[in-house]
Structure 1
Amino acid sequence: MAELIKIYKENPNPKDVKKVIDVLKRGGLVIYPTDTVYGLGCDITHMKALEKIARIKEVKLEKSNFSFICEDLSNLSDYVKQIDTSTFKILKRALPGPYTFILPGSKSLPHPFKKRKTVGIRIPDNTITLEIVKQLGNPLVSTSIRDEDYVIEYTTDPELILEKWDNLVDIVIDGGYGDNEASTVIDLSGDEPLIVREGKGSLEIF
C-alpha cells in the first residue's frame, strides 16, 4: 500500500522530505510532482529499484529511455561527457524548466546505463523535486506517468494517482494538481540542436 504525503511547493516540510528520502534509499519507488506531468522515480544507485521501474514500464533497463533528474548543472559531469560552451549556455538559459535535454553520456554512468551513448537530463522547476534530489545526494531515475490510454485525472490528481498506483509504488507525493503536458525534449548530442518532442517548454531558448 502506497502512502500519500502532502508536500507544499512554497515550503517543503523537511520531515516529509526525509520520509521520502528514507524510502528512496531503501530502494522504494516514489511518484512526485514536476513542472510538467507527475513522474515515477527511484534512486539512481539502487539496482533493484531501477529494475522495478523497468518492469512496470515493460522495458529492458539497458534499453530504457528514462531520464535523470538532477538538482542543478554542477553534477552533470558525473553523467555527461564534457559539453561545449554553446551547449552549456542553452542549458543555463532553460534550466530549471520543463525540458529534457539529451546529452552525450559519460564513461562513469551507473552500471545498467554503461552502454548508453546519450542520457536524458532533467532539472524541473519544482521545489519539491529539487529538494528531494538535493537531500538524496544523487539523481533520481525518472519516467513520466502520463498515459495516453487513461483518463487525464489519473495522471494529474494525486488522489487518483494513488488509487491507480497503490500496489506498485511506496509513496505518492501530493504536490497539487499536475500538468498533462510533457516536457520538451531537445537532443544536444549532435552538431545542431534537434527537437525530439515539442512539449511545455518554449523553443525560444536558442
Structure 2
Amino acid sequence: MSATLIKIHPDNPAQKRVLEVVDCLRNGGVVIYPTDTVYGMGCDITNARAIDRVARIKGLQADKANFAFICYDLSHISEFAKVDNATFKVMKKALPGPFTFILNASSNVPKLLNTRKKTVGIRVPNHNIPRQIVKELGNPIVTTSIRDDDEVVEYSTDPELIFEKYRDLVDIVIDGGYGNNVASTVVNFSNGQFEVEREGLGDITQFV
C-alpha cells in the first residue's frame, strides 16, 4: 500500500492532521516528518514490530541500531534515561533545540527496543510538528534521520522527493515544508562529562 502525503503547517499544526498521524502510529505505522534539523523517520516507541520495520528500511538490525527518541519535553526523559543534575541543567537550557543527547539508558529501554545497548539518544526538537505528535501520542517516538543515496547531498530536504522515494516503504510522509540539510549535534553525556560526537546544527558550548 502506498503512503499518504499529508501537508501540515510547521508553526500551527492542524489538530485533525496531527491526530491522523497519531492514529497511524498507534496502529504500528511508520511516519516521515520534519524536525528542526533534517527530516526523520519514526514510529511509536512501544510497538516492537514498527521498530523492526524502521530498522529494515534503514538496512539495520533493530538490536544494533542507534535509534534516538523524540520527546515532547524533559518530563519524559527520566522514564528512559538516567540524568544527573548537571546534565539536566544543560539539557533544560539547550532544549528544545537541534541536539541529540546520548545518556545512560534506564531499564525500560532494553525491553522496548530489544537491545543490550546501555545508552540512548534523546531529542526534543524545536519544531511543532513532531512535538505535537508526541504530545498527542502520549509517549516518545523512535527516530532516525532520512539519508540520501547521493554522496554529495547527505539529506533530502524536499518533502515531495522524500515521498517519491519512500512512498512504498512507509505509511505517511508529512510535508512540513523544506527541511534542513544539517543534522543535529550529538552530545554524549553518558560518562559524566560532555563530548561532542558529531558536529551538527547546534552549538552546545553556549549551554555548558
Relative to the length of structure 1, the TM-score reads 0.95
Calculate percent identity across the aligned residue pairs: 56
What amino acid is aligned across from residue 12 of structure 2 in structure 1? N
Q: Which residue of 2 aligns with 1:201?
A: 202
Measured in 2, the distance between the counterparts of 1:42 and 1:113 equals 15
Distance 1:107 1:42 in 2: 20
Runs of at least 5 residues in structure 2 that lack an aligned partner in the other structure: none
1:77, distance to aligned residue in structure 2 (A): 1.1
Distance 1:113 1:80, change over 3 A: farther
What is the one-letter code of the residue matched to 1:106? S
Residue type of the partner of 2:105?
A: G
Task: Please list every run of 5 or more consecutive structure 1 residues that lacks an aligned counterpart in the other structure.
Answer: none
Amino acid aligned to 1:105: A
Partner Cα distance (2:184, 2:155) in 1 = 18
The correspondence of residues 158-197 of structure 1 with structure 2, limited to 5 A, is 158-197=159-198
* Residue equivalent to 1:143: 144
Q: Which moved more, 1:105-114 or 1:196-205?
A: 105-114
Q: Report deviation, 1:114.
A: 4.8
1:185–1:197: 8 Å Cα contact kept in structure 2?
Answer: yes
CA distance in 1, matches of 2:151, 2:20: 29
Cα deviation per residue 1:107-162 (whole Å; 9 max; x = unaligned)?
12243345221000000000011000000011010100023626749710011110
RMSD: 1.5
> Are the counterparts in 1 of residues 146 and 155 from structure 2 also a CA contact under 8 Å?
no
Residue in structure 1 matched with residue 14 of structure 2 by the alignment:
13
**What does 1:91-170 correspond to in 2, within 5 Å?**
91-109=91-109, 110-147=111-148, 149=150, 152=153, 155-170=156-171
Q: Which residue of 1 aligns with 2:89?
A: 89
Residue 26 of structure 1 is matched in structure 2 by 27
Q: Secondary structure at the match of 1:35?
A: coil
Q: Is the 8 A contact 2:188 2:195 kept in 1?
A: yes
CA contact (8 A) 2:38 2:155 kept: no
Hey, what's the Cα distance between the residues in 1 that align with 2:148 and 2:65? Answer: 17
Q: What TM-score, normalized by structure 2, do the two folds share?
A: 0.94
Question: What is the CA deviation profile of residues 70-122 of structure 1, one whole-angstrom value per residue up to 9, with x for unaligned ones?
Answer: 010001111012x2211011100110000000000001224334522100000
Residues 147, 154 of structure 2: 8 Å contact kept: no
Paired with 1:154 and 1:71, the residues of 2 have a C-alpha distance of 24
Q: Secondary structure at the match of 1:155?
A: coil
Q: What's 2:36 paired with? A: 35
Kept after mapping to 2: 8 A contact 1:33/1:175: yes
1:9, distance to aligned residue in structure 2 (A): 1.7
- In the alignment, the residues of structure 1 paired with residue 135 and residue 69 of structure 2 have an alpha-carbon distance, to the nearest angstrom, of 13
CA distance in 1, matches of 2:199, 2:143: 19
- Asked whether the equivalents of residues 102 and 187 of structure 2 are also in contact (C-alpha less than 8 Å), the reply is yes
Aligned length: 205
